[in-house]
Amino acid sequence: MMEKLFTPFTIKNLELKNRIVMPALASFLIGNGGSISEATVEQYRRRAGGGPAMVIMEACAVSPEGVVSAHQARIDNDRLVEGLARIATAVKEEGAVPAIQIHHGGRQTSVRVIGRKPLAPSALPCPLIRGDVDPLTVEGIGQVVQKFGDAADRARQAGFELIEIHGAHGYLVNQFLSPFSNIREDAYGGDIAGRTRFAREIVEELRRRVGPDFPLSFKISAEEHVQNGLTTDSSIEILKILVTAGIDVVQVSAGNDMTPEWISQPMFMKKACLVDSAARVKKALDIPVMAVGRINDPRTANEILVKQKADLVCMGRGLLADPELPNKAHQGRIDEIRTCIACNTCMQSIFKKGRIECLVNPMLGREKEMAFIPTRHPKNVMVVGGGPGGLNTAWVAAKRGHHVQVFEKRSQLGGQLVAGSTPGHKAELRTLIRFQKKQAEIFGVKCHLNHEVTVEDIQAVNPDVVVLATGSQPSLPPVDGIDKDIVLTYEDVLKPESVSCEKAVIIGGGPTGLEVALHLAENGCSVTVIEMLPKVGQGMESVTKKVILEQLKKNHVTLQTNTRLLRIEDTGVVVANQRNPEQFLAAQEVIMAVGTRPDTGLYEKIKSLGYEIHQVGDCLEPGSAKDAIFHSAVLGRKI
């Protein structure tokens, strides 16, 4: 079914067992000064053991001023070789080729991180970080080239078998390549040859250091999606120069510091959205091409190869979500793959918590502490509620050896994920439901649908443990008219059979309100969103928020902030803000998206009956699917 994906491939003399590559992704498991811990090694061991042909270690800074985070991997000192070697060894022991990416942040860092002004090609600061920069002198350029060469020497000493130069995503090499960030007037600026000179000298230095047979890769942002940025046409001309200089393979990415949505594409962007650029590069060059970008399932990956759009496929977030993805695909166990849903929780957790986390895979970065340990005392566990929290608790507990039953009042499992997957841009949430159901089936969980549990049901089952995952109910604000027929909840609107109206007002501009607004607008509805706060999308991951706001604008959705609901009438709502004490907005539907309240009814009835009771998910405290899955994973391991 996916034969092409699992055919061998060769880069120079480097033999790859299949076409799947894990690209360099920041783990945020690196200690101060670039130290490597057991958790770091275990993260790479797990991904390599899952069956990819090659694992590229995350971007390693070649010099202290090139670091972009205190948690960045480093390769700027000989003392680091021993730790890096532990990763290379672990990857190789698991049957994958160990590769490494070397990197310099350039202007895309700050004085706070590196203790000095960042280096840059020109006197243009990073548009997001801002702050003064130091334009590199010709002598300084030569020193950085030497540092890349020194890094290559260390990479070989550590046992890595391919080196990739990070020439993408707005970092230093990319900054030189692009007229967006390079306005030099000397030999390192101007036309394509001038702007490519820095990258060419790095490639030539690496080739001199590693010899003619060692494979070198180059990662490029073929399309930067900014004015005066790189395009696929200009990137092809750059790559032709670099091929002559000595690169053997290219990874075709996109985006820079101003367009992060093209670097880590959210679910609002289509699968494999960078592949057309990769295909054009492949057609123009006579070296292998790696495709990257929202390639999150093996069927999509195989299709890219069959259509000859690339030679290798990079699956990054897909292997964070499920490190066993390649093995499962090779064995035909597609329904058992825990698919990345492109929610960008991994990115949000990095910036908010300083560590990487995954919505669908709570074990990410906690591989040892969340290992499955069989129970010594099997129990009868009754789970009430078949949403993400309940299902996850159920199969985790069952995998450990408990006897588990799930009772769901609806006709299908999945809870709020069912409604949440209705909008086209969130359809991949269904893969999470599929995964949870399959795990429950594999580990013998008995599921009872259309069964709203009563106290008598619990007494009849008489379980050792009761897990309440009864979810939450949409909150309704205490305003006049809230009981009118015109009022709906977001769940009502997201039912698959729901028909879009011509005009709607959504109360609440949080993530749910914006997602419902986009869904209705894409189905022909005129939508206005009312939000009391100064900004919409509070708590939303920044890249996802940027993209959804662009989509809302494209679909002519009106956003009214600093506005509160006064009352609801038969044909619309009356709202108020500083400009207008009373404004009538006509609507056929008024949709409430102002949050939820826990459904604790059953808990209140049974809490005094003497059972061991646990609550998980929204019935404990309304939150995200990520919270429900994490806490249920912990609960399933401790029952």
The torsion of the CA quartet 165, 168, 174, 177, rounded to 10 degrees, works out to 90
Residue 426: predicted pLDDT: 84
Burial 473-496 (b: 16+ CB within 10 A, else e): bbeeeeeebeeeebbbbbbebbee
Angle at 94 between CA 86 and CA 78, to 5 degrees: 20
- CA–CA separation, 427 vs 410, rounded Å? 20
pLDDT < 70 positions in the chain: 499, 619-623
Q: CA nearest 421: which of 319, 325, 515, 506?
A: 515
Backbone angles phi, psi at 600, to 5 degrees: -110, 15
Residue 474: predicted pLDDT: 86
Residue 230: predicted pLDDT: 98
Burial degree of 405 (CB within 10 A; 0-12, 13-18, 19+) = middle
Domains of the chain by range and CATH?
4-339 (3.20.20.70), 380-474+597-638 (3.40.50.720), 487-594 (3.50.50.60)
Q: What single-letter DSSP state applies at residue 480? A: B
- CA–CA separation, 144 vs 127, rounded Å? 23
Backbone angles phi, psi at 560, to 5 degrees: -115, 110
Copy the structure tokens of residue 322.
């499920």
Cβ-Cβ contacts under 8 Å for 219 (sequence gap 6 or more): 23, 24, 101, 164, 165, 166, 167, 168, 250, 251, 253
Q: CA nearest 490: which of 448, 521, 519?
A: 519
Residue 622: predicted pLDDT: 55
User: How far, in whole angstroms, is CA 564 from its chain's centroid?
Assistant: 34
Q: What single-letter DSSP state applies at residue 32? A: G
* 245 in Cβ contact with 192 (< 8 Å): no
Q: What single-letter DSSP state applies at residue 66? A: G
Neighbours of 564 (CB within 10 A): 14
Neighbours of 373 (CB within 10 A): 10
Q: Helix or strand or coil: residue 607?
A: coil
- CA–CA separation, 531 vs 24, rounded Å? 39
Q: Helix or strand or coil: residue 204?
A: helix
Q: Helix or strand or coil: residue 172?
A: helix
Backbone angles phi, psi at 434, to 5 degrees: -60, -45
Crossing angle for the helix pair 275-284 and 232-245, to the nearest 10 degrees: 50
Residue 620: predicted pLDDT: 61
- CA–CA separation, 563 vs 566, rounded Å? 9
Cβ-Cβ contacts under 8 Å for 93 (sequence gap 6 or more): 45, 48
Copy the structure tokens of residue 278.
């990769």
Rounded to whole angstroms, what are the CA distances from 633 to 178, 337, 370, 371? 45, 17, 8, 11
Rounded to whole angstroms, what are the CA distances from 359 to 213, 341, 583? 41, 9, 40
Cβ-Cβ contacts under 8 Å for 325 (sequence gap 6 or more): 50, 51, 298, 315, 318, 319, 337, 338
- CA–CA separation, 24 vs 201, rounded Å? 23
Q: CA nearest 630: which of 470, 396, 414?
A: 396
Cβ-Cβ contacts under 8 Å for 100 (sequence gap 6 or more): 24, 56, 57, 60, 75, 84, 88, 155, 158, 160, 162, 163, 164
Residues annotated as part of the active site: 171
Which amino acid type is present at position 83? G
Q: What is the CA radius of gyration of the chain?
A: 27
